[in-house]
Amino acid sequence: MLFFALFQVWTLTLGTLYLPLLGTSPKVVGKAATFWVKGVFLILRLTCGLSYQVRGTVPPGAALVASKHQSTLETFAFRLILGDPAVILKQELLRIPFFGWYLGKTGVIAIDRSAGTKALKEMVKGAEAQAAKGRPVLIFPEGHRQPVGAPPEYHTGIAMVYAGIGLPCVPVALNTGLFWGRGSFAKRSGIATIWFLDPIAPGMDRKAFMAELQARIEKASADLAAEARAQYPHLPR
């Protein structure tokens, strides 16, 4: 409850003070967003005893980063880990007051999911443009947060982006959902792990790529969940 209260105060305060920045460049808004995220993690650590650690090698510059999605935690953390990621996300998020306004100014790749094939083509085009600027392109292949241990639901959009931009794909596994679950008010103490796995070289066949990506992320995420549960007995089983 304390985290939620302080989070709201922090967000509304900076969201109001930042309003003039909406007329500036994405780079300026991105730096402001980074400062906001750092404050969120400070509040999270002080009130709930929750933080995160990074394992593996974070790709420098342009790359396709495909991450498991379990929690709000990683959506914030990637801003600090990747620096200036071009996030592929659903267009509806841009309509959220304050949060969506600033999100839209950071150079995200917003997708209208009702547009079907056209949306997928626009997603690939946007990813190519952002990667050409040297930015990492971040995508959540399942499209939404999944509870820990839920059956995977990887969508083929990731394969289209992989084929379209011709860059290595870095799979990311995590166990954040054990500490900050989807739709959960509770925040559990401990150190969540975000694990950057070895990259998948460009040029693989679409089906082979999808199978490889899912297998790597799901196995590593399951290993991280088992590791965290062994270390922190208070986590859900």
- The helix (H) or strand (E) run that includes residue 151 is none
Distance of CA 36 to the CA centre of its chain: 16
Structural domain contains residue 128: yes
Q: Which residues of the chain have pLDDT under 70?
A: none
Q: Which range of residues forms the domain containing residue 159?
A: 51-231
Does residue 36 form part of some domain? no
For residue 109, tell me if it sits in a domain: yes
181 lies in a domain? yes
Domain with 204 in it: what CATH number?
3.40.1130.10
Q: What is the pTM (predicted TM-score) of this model? A: 0.94
Is 203 a member of any domain?
yes
Looking at residue 95, its pLDDT comes to 87
In a domain, 20, yes or no: no
What is the total count of domains within the chain?
1
| In contact, 102 and 139? CB cutoff 8 Å | no
- How do residues 25-73 score in pLDDT, each as one tens digit? 999 999 999 999 999 999 999 999 999 999 999 999 899 999 999 999 9
Q: Is residue 72 part of a domain?
A: yes
Phi first, then psi, for residue 217 (nearest 5°) are -65, -45
Tell me the residue type at 172.
V
Say if 22 falls within a structural domain: no
Q: What is the structure's pLDDT at 50?
A: 98
